[in-house]
Amino acid sequence: MLSNDDGKYLIRIAKQAIENYLEKGTKLDIPKDCPDYLKEKLRVFVTLNKNEELRGCIGYPEPIAPLIDATIDVAISAAVNDPRFPSLTKDEFKDIDIEVTVLTKPKLLEVTNPNDYVKKVNIGEDGLIIEKRFNKGLLLSQVATEYNMDSKSFLDNTCLKAGLNSNCWLESDTNIFTFQGQTFK
């Protein structure tokens, strides 16, 4: 678990990374004052909101880079590479709220009957990853609460995010993982 101060630090770095990229077109260097424990490889997402509406969200669902470096990368990507939105402008940046979500390691959900997945997903606590063959979709826990989803609709929407049919979670060759996220705003 990270502290609130760690979260504020990551938010500040994400903000600086976006500002630096919008002004200079370059990636921010890892700050010299970065604590060593923020250099551990962890999963992280950066979400940008404008007027309480999604404006960009990109993350590393796998621990492929040190947390501080991954935060810088995904903050920039959320601002300029989210395919759902045009690149963020300098003028628009002042109206952006930044969220950093650090993820735990995913845990495979195991059930005897696929209908039991609905009982196993904790809305407001669990994020979901659904994998089937080469398709993979991930939704953060806050997506379910922000859109008032119940467990079934959360499972359905994670399937859709993976590019699969909405009820693929009922099929035996689909793997479902839960994870938790520590979100800083």
- pLDDT by residue (tens digit) across 124-149? 999 999 999 999 999 999 999 999 99
Does 11 share its domain with 88?
yes
Q: Say if 145 falls within a structural domain.
A: yes
Please count the structural domains in the chain.
2
Q: Beta strands of 123-180 (E only): which ranges?
A: 127-132, 135-139, 175-179
The pLDDT > 90 percentage for the chain reads 97
Average pLDDT value for the chain: 96
Does 31 share its domain with 115?
no
- Both tokens of residue 83? 């395919």
Provide the Cα torsion 26, 27, 31, 35; round to 10°: 180
Return the pLDDT at 55.
Answer: 97
Does 92 share its domain with 111?
no
Q: In 3-state terms, what secondary structure has residue 42?
A: coil
pLDDT tens track for 147-182: 999 999 999 999 999 999 999 999 999 999 999 999
Above 90 in pLDDT, residue 94? yes
Where is the domain boundary, 86, 103, 120? Answer: 103
Where is the domain boundary, 88, 103, 118? Answer: 103
C-beta separation of 100 from 14 below 8 A: yes
- Both tokens of residue 41? 């490889």
Return the pLDDT at 1.
Answer: 85
Task: Give the span between the Cα atoms of 56 and 49, in whole angstroms.
Answer: 7
Structural domain boundaries, residue 164: 107-180
